Structure 1
Amino acid sequence: MDDATLARDIDSCCRLTGEFTLRSGQVSHEYFDKYLFESQPALLGRVADQMVELLPEGTELLGGLELGGIPIVTALSFRTGLPALFVRKSAKEYGTCKLAEGPEVSGRRVTLVEDVITTGGAVRDATRALRAAGAVVGTVVCAIDRSPEAENPLVDVELDVRAVLTKAQLDAVRS
């Protein structure tokens, strides 16, 4: 399988047109509804397969961000044998009061897993919170990077962004 085939399949499954307000507050005339591919086992598996090659050496834990990163990190964990963390938007206020459900993060190399990155707001927040808990976070792997081409929206938190697909690759299948 090559990226062009995956890009075409994701695009045909997930690209919606209309007017959509993104998490960043930006308004877009198109939206990639990642839940449409995440809910399809075969397509989700293909994305996870592509992510395996993007993981940095030395990764000890995979941190999936609530909510879209959770199905992807589960599939990726299954394929790699690496333990998964389920990273909340904020620590729960009851029970264990954890931000990241799963193994202890302190002193461990965590690679974050996200579905779609545009400005990186959720990833930035999770990176700061995990680092405050002692995790070593240097990379995020995402299914789709919608940020402007050749720009790293997470350079301010010194995070390497590795994407299965970029907006440019998805746009190329439409031309």
Structure 2
Amino acid sequence: MSTLPERIKQCARLNGYFVLRSGKVNGTYFDKYQFEANPQLLLAVAQEMALLVPQGTEVLAGLEMGGIPIVTVMSQITGIPAAFIRKQPKDYGTCKYAEGAGLFGKHFVLIEDIVSSGGAIMDALAKLKADHLAPDSALCVIDRETGGKEALAGVDLPLKALFTISQIEDA
């Protein structure tokens, strides 16, 4: 039986020319939607991610879009309520950028799929801080080891990854 990093690599690793969110160009891309759309693989990832959740966490907050499927399954596994952080507030209905479980006064962690520069987490963090909300930490499935962890440490947000890109590549 393949290890989880091997399964992710087999399912989601693509070779070619890819522009990342950070603007950098890379010859390898992990199509997270491939492992997030595979029910067995998503469940295995969420089960392992659940082990990283700090004691005392009251809400799991997934970032749009890749963090949403992961946080939903993690919530089912852990029994911890989920919140969903939009890139932009919707302009109708409640007009919120944070949906689901409330975050005010709660210990919560941000959940992301793949972290490169940390930009998506930093964007979410700016919105949260403007509302006087502060996550305890951030968790991701894959840290691409391209400065995201260090950037987040620079704003006092620890990042814990299930796997580094090196671990996936070496699988």
TM bucket, shorter chain: over 0.9
Aligned partner of 1:114 in structure 2 is: 112
1:25 corresponds to which residue?
Answer: 23
Letter in 2 for 1:121: G
Please name the residue that 1:170 is paired with: 168
Query: CA offsets, 1:62-112, max 9 Å, x none?
Result: 110001000000000000011110100011111111010012211111100
Q: TM-score, normalised by structure 2?
A: 0.94
The percentage of counterpart residues that share the same residue type is 47
Q: How many residues align?
A: 171
Specify the alignment match of 1:152 in structure 2.
150
- 2:49 counterpart residue number: 51
After superposition, residues 53-68 of structure 1 pair within 5 angstroms as: 53-68=51-66
Aligned to 2:36: 38
Structure 2 contact 115–140 (Cα < 8 Å) conserved:
yes
In structure 1, C-alpha distance between the alignment counterparts of 2:149 and 2:32, rounded to whole Å: 22
**Does 101-110 or 10-19 show the bigger shift?**
101-110
Contact 2:19-2:26 at 8 Å conserved across structures: yes
TM-score (norm 1): 0.92
Considering only aligned residues, what root-mean-square deviation do their CA atoms show, in Å? 1.7
Instruction: Pick closer, same or farther for the CA change 1:162–1:151 going to 2, 3 Å.
Output: closer
Provide the C-alpha distance between the structure 1 equivalents of 2:108 and 2:149, rounded to a whole number of angstroms: 23
What SS does the corresponding residue of 2:73 show, helix, strand or coil? helix
Whether the 8 Å CA contact 1:131–1:137 is kept in 2: the answer is no
Structure 1: runs of 5 or more not aligned: none
Per the alignment, in what secondary structure is the counterpart of residue 142 of structure 1? strand
